[in-house]
A and B are shown apart, each in its own frame.
Chain A
Amino acid sequence: MEDLAEFIIDYAGKMGTEYAEARVQVDLRESLLLKNGVLETYAFEESRGVGIRVLVDGSLGFASTNQLKREEVKRALKQAFKVAKATSGLIKHKICMGKGNLGSDKVIIKPRVSFANVDPEARISLLKETDEEVISSASKFEVKVPARVMTLDTWVTEKLVMTSDGANVYSVTPRVALFTLITLLHPQKGIMQRYIELGESGGWETAEKWNLPKVFHEETSTLAKVLIEATRPPTGEMDVVLGPEIVGITCHESCGHPSEADRILGREAAQAGETFLKSDSIGLRIGSKRVNIVDDPTLKGSFGFYLYDDEGVKAGRRVLIKEGVVNEFLHNRETASVFGIESNSASRAVAYNREPIVRMANTFFLPGDYSEEELFEDVKEGVYMKSFMEWNIDDRRFNQRYVGLEAYKIENGEIKNPIRNPVLEITTTGLWSAVDAAGKDLKFQAAYCGKGDPMQAIPVWTGGPHIRLRKVRIGGRE
């Protein structure tokens, strides 16, 4: 890897580029797909190649190839140069790579149990056992599970990032991810569906630690109960307690995305859109004093883990909202240079054939000081939303909707009967301003965040404690 990256950087220098970056990346993946208890396929994927970025006359060019002979790599480099040069006439503001704490380091996450030592039978039987648990847990409630899809992926990302201004970071990161969609059916009560996603960085010990049969027993039993017992939700203005799963997605959608500096600059305007925040929004109050949201790639074992970003900048925690006030945006080196600051290491690419862009890693609401009991005890009438299925947000990240799946009525401080699909449809400032308490607990949820063109679905965690919203409007699905 080192030789190839050095070759690219040297050759790019001879071509007269202002900046060059070589990322040699290999992703080796094993995937199982189980549908309705049947193994549909067992798949291996080898993704191996190089992504090159160059700056020529202030114009940014990117080229990727998976043909790694020197001549092919040289050709890719020349293409990056040529395409940057050809479009330089359509640039009014020259692009620069801003400052950042560039690293020269090796970060190797060693698994306790290597994927290579886990034979296919062990993986298959884990999924089959989980699938059987789903069916048997539901059957105790006379609920059927006519459709189940489960995928289990393990992969190792090995990459070297080298830049012409001195970054040289080699990393190896193993990851495990489980994705499921289950469909519960009761002849009289109807149909309910739930996504369950788990993901961490680490070796096979991670999958073992999850104790999937237990997790799915609990999830399925709860959902079956909700399916059978849920009544129409109360509607109107009331207090709402959100569980960590929903707090996590709100942090991601309504704080993380709006804080991406490339969106602020309009880079994603025709795809995922812009943001209601502006370049000068640092210091703007958008929530109550109880709101503290951070993004932190350095959490050990997290799905969005890294210690150096894909521009070689040393990673650290980003405090996006501090006591309800916009505190920091997410930057790569390009956006940092526009803002006249240093990059805070948010540059990520999902594979060798994608350019690094501004991304979240693990975005979460910092815990407060309330016990779970304290959060609920003075809610006279309200709703507790624990999980969700449907959600979306507008392209300025201001108008969002979360529809509860596992949700309950709260009466006089007590969690009562399940309710069906309460709808929280709210503005971003409305949401964060309504927070009056945050719990001591903290839980994370794995997800793939979609952004970029071509699309890059990148592993992240979202998370937080339970939080309480005062006087927000709850609706119901028709």
Chain B
Amino acid sequence: MKVEEIPPYIVDLGRKYGATDVAAKIIESQRVMIRFSNNEVTVSKVFREITVDVFLMVEKHRAMTTISTLSTRNIEKSVKNLVKIARMSPPADIYAPLPKGPFRYEPKLLKAPKVPLEPEVLAGYVERAVSTALESGAKKAAGTLSAFRSKMTLATSSEVYASQEGAGLELSIRAFASEIATGHFLSIAGKPEDFNPEEAGRVAGEIAKIADNPAPGEPGKYMALLEPMIFAILANQTGILSSAFLVDAGQSFLVDKIGEEVASKKLTLIDDPTLAGSIGAKAFDDEGVPTKRKAIIENGVLKTYLHNSITARKFGVETTGNAGIIVPIPWNLVIEPGDKSFEDLLSQIDDGIYVTNAWYLRYQNYRTGDFSMLPRDGMFRVKRGEIVSPVRELRISDNMLRVLQNIIDLGRSRTWVKWWEVEVPSLVPHTLISELNFTKPLI
């Protein structure tokens, strides 16, 4: 059986054994990854997989499975067993039949640009990125280059049968001018012409260079200018925790806040999988529903949670095309730009801090949004609109809603962010935030 024939075969089997609804998707993927540190390659990897995910319902009774042995016999056995398990399971609170197709999908979103997977080409990207980082003042560089192509074919018992491709090039490079003077930057692209490893290396190297000889920072509340890499972490948190499943699970600071001002009027956060050629572009979700552009937060007001058909039924709304069969997820997060240049934003700071990156965000309480995270890489004291000196050792300890409400202004140029710490591709500008709380250890 050809790979693309497997999903409809599974759907037929599921229906034959008594499932009311079946969704089967098969993903063929290939990823090549080169990791490097101390200016040299440490390991090169190739991942090739074909996996099948099956979700089925016998009305309110649900079960799902992942199959990697694709023999007819194993598939048949797995689907038969799955229907049996679903029947045995207690009913969920909601039965929402899989959305009725067939649907029309945007053709531009079904095909992905061709990205190179040849190791020689990718090694060349690494070499160029490291070289520009060193030329910009770094002493060493580390990072990951990754290229992937994938094809997903989905069939459902509600007359969906379609395939879409994905592709991307991702470079994450961290430059070191000294052990504690570092800069980090990225190049994230859905198509080769948007990929710029030299630029990523150059910016990382430049940040590292001006971050040299940092002094311990002083805790307190500061106006802070955040680089796209750090604001993307906050955008990711907001986007991911707008999933209706997580809202229902209490794992979100957006519970019961639809229609409320949860952020500054300056902030508009959109999930936009319809940007053809971007790394998070997607024609349809895991239920076969065509994706769409939607504002999660518009001018500061929370407009919607992200839904699949099950959470939509539970919340009494329409699906937003964000299935995740059980947990709805954002595809491609976009922050609407402001109209200021980086210099304009910097000039608004009389006494503040400019942070280029962060990691390790953890919540004390998802519901209230109390969290802390650690700035890393270049962090700088800003006085009278100018960067005056690098600082270190500070931690951002604040509340998500307060931080979003304290956004003063946004930059007009934006950067695609996706790396080890940022899961969902995000197009993010520089962001100016007032009264951001910084703490530090005192012994």
Cβ-defined contact, B48 with A41, below 8 A: no
Contacts of A121 in B (CB 8 A): 88
Cβ-defined contact, B49 with A46, below 8 A: no
Task: Report the minimum CB–CB distance from A440 to chain B (whole Å).
Answer: 27
Cβ-defined contact, A181 with B251, below 8 A: yes
The residue on B at minimum CB distance from A146 is: B250
CA distance A92 to B67 in the complex (A): 42
Task: Report the minimum CB–CB distance from A352 to chain B (whole Å).
Answer: 10
Query: Quick check: is A60 within 8 A (CB to CB) of the other chain?
Result: yes
Task: Report the minimum CB–CB distance from A147 to chain B (whole Å).
Answer: 3
CA distance A477 to B363 in the complex (A): 12
CA distance A362 to B11 in the complex (A): 44
Q: Mark B33-67, 1 if CB is under 8 A from A, else 0.
A: 11111111111111111110001000000111111
Cβ-defined contact, B66 with A48, below 8 A: no
Cβ-defined contact, A49 with B49, below 8 A: yes
Given contacts A149-B251, A269-B37, 8 further A-B contacts (CB under 8 A): A44-B85, A66-B49, A87-B44, A87-B119, A121-B88, A147-B249, A147-B367, A390-B363
Cβ-defined contact, A40 with B326, below 8 A: yes
Query: Quick check: is B76 within 8 A (CB to CB) of the other chain?
Result: no
Stretch at the interface among A101-109, A287-295, A299-307, A423-431: A423-431
Cβ-defined contact, B123 with A149, below 8 A: no
Query: Quick check: is B306 within 8 A (CB to CB) of the other chain?
Result: no
Task: Report the minimum CB–CB distance from A302 to chain B (whole Å).
Answer: 25
Query: Quick check: is A193 within 8 A (CB to CB) of the other chain?
Result: yes
CA distance A337 to B314 in the complex (A): 57
Contacts of A355 in B (CB 8 A): 43, 45
Stretch at the interface among B16-24, B139-147, B157-165: B139-147
Task: Report the minimum CB–CB distance from B364 to chain A (whole Å).
Answer: 4
Query: Quick check: is B1 within 8 A (CB to CB) of the other chain?
Result: no
- Known A45-B65, A65-B49, A390-B362; judge A86-B123 contact (CB<8 A): yes
Query: Quick check: is A475 within 8 A (CB to CB) of the other chain?
Result: yes
Describe B's contact surface by its main secondary structure: strand
Among candidates B41, B90, B326, residue contacting A59 with C-beta atoms closer than 8 Å: B41
Cβ-defined contact, B374 with A393, below 8 A: yes
Contacts of A98 in B (CB 8 A): none
Task: Report the minimum CB–CB distance from B201 to chain A (whole Å).
Answer: 12
Query: Quick check: is A67 within 8 A (CB to CB) of the other chain?
Result: yes
Contacts of B107 in A (CB 8 A): none
Cβ-defined contact, B360 with A392, below 8 A: yes
Contacts of B140 in A (CB 8 A): 266
Cβ-defined contact, A63 with B47, below 8 A: yes
The residue on B at minimum CB distance from A269 is: B142
**13 residue pairs bridging A and B, Cβ less than 8 Å apart:** A42-B64, A43-B63, A79-B46, A83-B45, A90-B123, A147-B367, A269-B142, A270-B174, A389-B362, A389-B363, A395-B359, A427-B441, A455-B420
Query: Quick check: is B173 within 8 A (CB to CB) of the other chain?
Result: yes
CA distance A36 to B248 in the complex (A): 8
Query: Quick check: is A340 within 8 A (CB to CB) of the other chain?
Result: no
CA distance A193 to B368 in the complex (A): 10
CA distance A454 to B66 in the complex (A): 20
Q: Which residues from 376 to 415 on chain A have a C-beta closer than 8 Å to any C-beta of chain B?
A: 389-396, 399-401, 403, 405
- Known A49-B68, A355-B43; judge A473-B443 contact (CB<8 A): yes
The residue on A at minimum CB distance from B34 is: A87
Contacts of B240 in A (CB 8 A): none
Contacts of A181 in B (CB 8 A): 249-251, 366
Task: Report the minimum CB–CB distance from B271 to chain A (whole Å).
Answer: 22
Contacts of A269 in B (CB 8 A): 37, 142, 174, 176
Contacts of B248 in A (CB 8 A): 35-36, 147
Contacts of B44 in A (CB 8 A): 59-62, 83-84, 86-87
Contacts of B81 in A (CB 8 A): 44
Contacts of A192 in B (CB 8 A): 365
Cβ-defined contact, B41 with A43, below 8 A: no
Chain B interfacial positions (CB closer than 8 Å to A): 32-51, 55, 62-69, 78, 81-82, 85-86, 88-90, 92-93, 118-120, 123, 126-127, 140, 142-144, 172-174, 176, 179-180, 184, 245, 248-251, 325-326, 359-368, 370-374, 376, 393, 395, 397, 420, 437, 439-443
Chain A interfacial positions (CB closer than 8 Å to B): 33, 35-36, 38-49, 59-67, 75-76, 79-80, 82-84, 86-87, 89-93, 95, 119-121, 124, 128, 146-149, 181, 183, 190-193, 265-274, 353, 355, 389-396, 399-401, 403, 405, 421, 423, 425-427, 430, 434, 453-455, 472-473, 475, 477-478
Cβ-defined contact, B93 with A38, below 8 A: yes
Contacts of B50 in A (CB 8 A): 66-67
Task: Report the minimum CB–CB distance from B402 to chain A (whole Å).
Answer: 9
The residue on A at minimum CB distance from B360 is: A392
Among candidates B40, B51, B376, residue contacting A66 with C-beta atoms closer than 8 Å: B51
Contacts of B364 in A (CB 8 A): 193, 389-390, 403, 405, 421, 477
Task: Report the minimum CB–CB distance from B224 to chain A (whole Å).
Answer: 16
Contacts of A91 in B (CB 8 A): 40-41
Task: Report the minimum CB–CB distance from B259 to chain A (whole Å).
Answer: 20
Cβ-defined contact, A42 with B63, below 8 A: yes
Cβ-defined contact, A93 with B90, below 8 A: no
Task: Report the minimum CB–CB distance from B358 to chain A (whole Å).
Answer: 10
Contacts of B42 in A (CB 8 A): 60, 95, 267
Task: Report the minimum CB–CB distance from B236 to chain A (whole Å).
Answer: 15
Task: Report the minimum CB–CB distance from B188 to chain A (whole Å).
Answer: 14
Task: Report the minimum CB–CB distance from A178 to chain B (whole Å).
Answer: 16
Cβ-defined contact, B393 with A270, below 8 A: no
Cβ-defined contact, A44 with B40, below 8 A: no
Task: Report the minimum CB–CB distance from B264 to chain A (whole Å).
Answer: 20
CA distance A450 to B55 in the complex (A): 28
Cβ-defined contact, B374 with A395, below 8 A: yes
Task: Report the minimum CB–CB distance from A426 to chain B (whole Å).
Answer: 5
CA distance A127 to B199 in the complex (A): 52
Cβ-defined contact, B250 with A183, below 8 A: yes
Cβ-defined contact, A83 with B420, below 8 A: no
Cβ-defined contact, B89 with A124, below 8 A: yes
List 9 A-B pairs, minimum CB-CB distance, nearest first. A147-B250, A86-B119, A269-B142, A183-B250, A390-B364, A392-B360, A270-B174, A430-B443, A83-B44
Cβ-defined contact, A46 with B66, below 8 A: yes
Cβ-defined contact, A63 with B45, below 8 A: yes
The residue on A at minimum CB distance from B402 is: A478
Cβ-defined contact, B66 with A453, below 8 A: no
Contacts of B374 in A (CB 8 A): 392-395, 399
CA distance A405 to B51 in the complex (A): 41
Task: Report the minimum CB–CB distance from A381 to chain B (whole Å).
Answer: 18
Cβ-defined contact, A390 with B45, below 8 A: no
Contacts of A41 in B (CB 8 A): 55, 62-64, 325-326
Most chain A CB inside 10 Å of its own CB: which residue of B48, B49, B359: B48
Contacts of B172 in A (CB 8 A): 270
Cβ-defined contact, B120 with A478, below 8 A: no
Task: Report the minimum CB–CB distance from A249 to chain B (whole Å).
Answer: 11
Among candidates B36, B64, B393, B443, residue contacting A90 with C-beta atoms closer than 8 Å: B36
Among candidates B46, B127, B371, residue contacting A83 with C-beta atoms closer than 8 Å: B46
CA distance A35 to B326 in the complex (A): 11
CA distance A459 to B85 in the complex (A): 27
Cβ-defined contact, B123 with A42, below 8 A: no
Contacts of B63 in A (CB 8 A): 41-44
Task: Report the minimum CB–CB distance from A76 to chain B (whole Å).
Answer: 7
Most chain B CB inside 10 Å of its own CB: which residue of A43, A45, A265: A43
CA distance A83 to B376 in the complex (A): 32
The residue on B at minimum CB distance from A49 is: B68
Task: Report the minimum CB–CB distance from A456 to chain B (whole Å).
Answer: 12
CA distance A130 to B431 in the complex (A): 44
Cβ-defined contact, B67 with A46, below 8 A: yes
Contacts of A90 in B (CB 8 A): 36, 40-41, 123, 126-127
Contacts of A148 in B (CB 8 A): 250
Contacts of B41 in A (CB 8 A): 59, 87, 90-91
The residue on A at minimum CB distance from B39 is: A92
Contacts of B176 in A (CB 8 A): 269
- Known A399-B395, A473-B442, A477-B364; judge A79-B43 contact (CB<8 A): no
